[in-house]
Amino acid sequence: MPFELPPLPYDKAALEPHITARTLEFHHGKHHQTYVTNLNNLTKDTPLATASLEEVIKASAADVAKAGLFNNAAQVWNHTFFWHCMKPGGGGAPTGDLKARIDAAFGSVDKFKEEFKATAVGQFGSGWGWLVQENGALKITKTGGADTPMVHGQTALLTVDVWEHAYYLDYQNRRPDFVQAFLDHLVNWDFVAKNLAG
């Protein structure tokens, strides 16, 4: 069965004014769709045509000859995950066990936000900023291009997309403002807590 573009978990205008419907029309409707289309073209008539998205990513991650396959599959996964990392009226601070774990790992939620922002903004070129769990510990990390935590033995908890197409229509070259708006107004902490609980 071919891979499909998953629907956004909210209306295209639901994240305004922080991310506009116009941005989501391009980002979800064009960029994400292109990765899905490319993935289907690359897996058609191969054993991976019936594999899960995660299986395709893991099967292609270490094979240079399959870089195109990995890039498209990982971008489908990364984007799908990213949409769920946001919600209308999001942001603020986590609660419960997630807050306790963040406080223990980074000192406070505010210190976590400072480090997460610095990491995401500091990603040279296209990529992603992540909060991950690795060997039971919380870590902030970044990946370039389509790279994704699952191929590094990490469990993704939260991500922000810092490819220019994620923010350029709304923020132009102001990546720090976009990441700040993501943290202050968009993060879906319930989704992060669910990922942590496994």
Kindly tell me if the per-residue pLDDT of 1 is higher than 70. Answer: no
| Confidence band, pLDDT 50/70/90 cuts, at residue 136 | very high
Residue 196, amino acid: L
CATH of domain 96-197: 3.55.40.20
Kindly tell me if the per-residue pLDDT of 198 is higher than 90. Answer: no
Among candidates 83, 75, 64, which has minimal Cα distance to 146? 75
Sign, CA dihedral 28-24-165-174, equals: negative
**Coil, strand or helix at 161:** strand
Pick the CATH number of 21-84 from 1.10.287.990, 3.40.50.300, 3.40.190.10, 1.10.3210.10: 1.10.287.990
Sheet holding 137-144, edge to edge: 137-144, 127-134, 155-161
pTM for the model stands at 0.97
So what's the pLDDT on residue 65? Answer: 87
- CA atoms of 91 and 184, how far apart (whole Å): 5
Residue 113, amino acid: K
Mind listing the pLDDT tens digit for each residue in 50-67?
999 999 999 999 898 899
So what's the pLDDT on residue 64? Answer: 86
Q: Which tokens is 12 given?
A: 């295209």
- Percent of the chain residues past pLDDT 70, beyond the cut: 99
Domain map of the chain by residue range? Answer: 21-84, 96-197
- CA atoms of 37 and 114, how far apart (whole Å): 37
Mind listing the pLDDT tens digit for each residue in 74-128?
999 999 999 999 999 999 999 999 999 999 999 999 999 999 999 999 999 999 9
Which residues are paired to 130 by β-bridges?
141, 159
